[in-house]
Amino acid sequence: MSDPVIGIIGGSGLYAVAGLEGAGWRDVDTPFGAPSDALFEGRMNGMRMVFLPRHGRGHRHTPSSIPYRANIAAMKAAGVTHLVSVSACGSFRDAMAPGDFVIVDQFIDRTFARDKSFFGPGLVAHVSVAHPVCPALSAACAAAARAGGARVHEGGTYLAMEGPQFSTLAESRLYRDWGCDVIGMTNMPEAKLAREAELHYASVAMITDYDSWHPDHGSVQIDEILKTLHGNAELATAMVAALPSHVSGGGCAEGCDRALEHAVLTAPDARDPGMVERLRGIAGRVL
């Protein structure tokens, strides 16, 4: 069994991680273009860790312009096995308050202006995302977040919207009626791509606001979000430091690391050689 390598994709408010030993930034490129930024690589409590700020340092990428495929391909090429997404989000539930963490276990994908798959014409594959997160890694994140002092809700449905504008009041009420718990703009297609890349993936959503549905809180405003982000980032930093004590290598009940086992449909002699070459780093195990 190979040693786990933890990847962290930091969202709004989390542009660096503290405490990585021997760490440095490394510029990388992928067959899907450059990722959002260089990779920050080092060791946390002896375990290899790779950090990538999703919007880039200085927050240069919009949710729609983030190079999701390059980000996941860069993590995979860096040897990451366990990928933790950290995101800011709005809440649809009274009980999920600003400052709380939600360990997301389901998504509704309402994004429409993003590349959603590594595969395509000449190399077709269909993976299951019925259970889109890794249960073992999610449990590890919950334990690490609690150890870092966060109030944690295990399980929650994340509505991924295109943005960059926040939702209208009608949309906010609709998503709440659909049974969604939190809303953000970035976890899709990230989670789908992580599954295609056979990575264990977990999503830690840090609540910054009540979106716009809440009668006592009015419309979501970015200045309110920014006030909450600072405290959330400190809790996230503590969670990241605690993660190596809770992550172990090997498989999981979902079989994240075998997701492509029967997924490729294109017959070997019908495959586009250029696509096969491009997908080598993602799907080489089954090609």
CB of 12 to ligand LNRAV4D5, least distance (A): 4
Write out the residues near ligand LNRAV4D5 by the rule CB under 6 A. Answer: 11-12, 54-55, 63, 87-88, 163, 184-186, 225
Residue 52's binding partner among ligand ADE, ligand LNRAV4D5, none (Cβ under 5 to 8 angstroms by kind) is: none
Return the closest-CA partner of residue 134 out of 31, 247, 29: 247
Between CA 142 and CA 89 the distance in angstroms is: 17
Identity of the residue, 81 or 186, whose beta carbon is nearer to ligand ADE in the bound complex: 186
Q: Hey, which residues between 143 and 182 contact ligand ADE (CB under 6 A)?
A: 161, 166
CB of 86 to ligand ADE, least distance (A): 12
Between CA 65 and CA 233 the distance in angstroms is: 23
Q: What are phi and psi of 284, to 5 degrees?
A: -50, -30
CB of 137 to ligand LNRAV4D5, least distance (A): 18
Q: Which residues are annotated as a binding site?
A: 12, 54-55, 87-88, 185-186, 209-211
Residue 132's binding partner among ligand LNRAV4D5, ligand ADE, none (Cβ under 5 to 8 angstroms by kind) is: none
Residue 211's binding partner among ligand ADE, ligand LNRAV4D5, none (Cβ under 5 to 8 angstroms by kind) is: ligand ADE
CB of 167 to ligand ADE, least distance (A): 6
Identity of the residue, 98 or 244, whose beta carbon is nearer to ligand ADE in the bound complex: 98
- Sort 58 into a burial class: Cβ within 10 Å, 0-12 / 13-18 / 19+: exposed
Binding string, 200-219, against ligand ADE, x = CB under 6 A?
A: --------xx-x--------
Q: Hey, which residues between 4 and 63 contact ligand ADE (CB under 6 A)?
A: none
Identity of the residue, 35 or 184, whose beta carbon is nearer to ligand LNRAV4D5 in the bound complex: 184
Q: Which residues are annotated as a binding site for substrate?
A: 185, 209-211
Identity of the residue, 138 or 208, whose beta carbon is nearer to ligand ADE in the bound complex: 208
Residue 11's binding partner among ligand LNRAV4D5, ligand ADE, none (Cβ under 5 to 8 angstroms by kind) is: ligand LNRAV4D5
Query: Any contact of residue 118 with ligand ADE (CB under 6 A)?
Result: no
Q: 3-state SS string over the chain?
A: CCCCCEEEEECCCCCCCCCCEEEEEECCCECCECCCCCEEEEEECCEEEEEEECCCCCCCCCCCCCCHHHHHHHHHHCCCCEEEEEEEEEECCCCCCCCCEEEECEEEECCCCCCCCCCECCECECCCCCCCCCHHHHHHHHHHHHHCCCCEEECCEEEECCCCCCCCHHHHHHHHHCCCCEEECCHHHHHHHHHHCCCEEEEEEEEEECCCCCCCCCCCCHHHHHHHHHHHHHHHHHHHHHHHHCCCCCCCCCCHHHCCCCCECCCHHHCCHHHHHHCHHHHHHHC
Tokens of 201: 């993936």
CB of 209 to ligand ADE, least distance (A): 5
Residues identified as active-site? 209, 211
Binding interface with ligand ADE (CB under 6 A): 88-90, 161, 166, 183-185, 208-209, 211, 220, 225
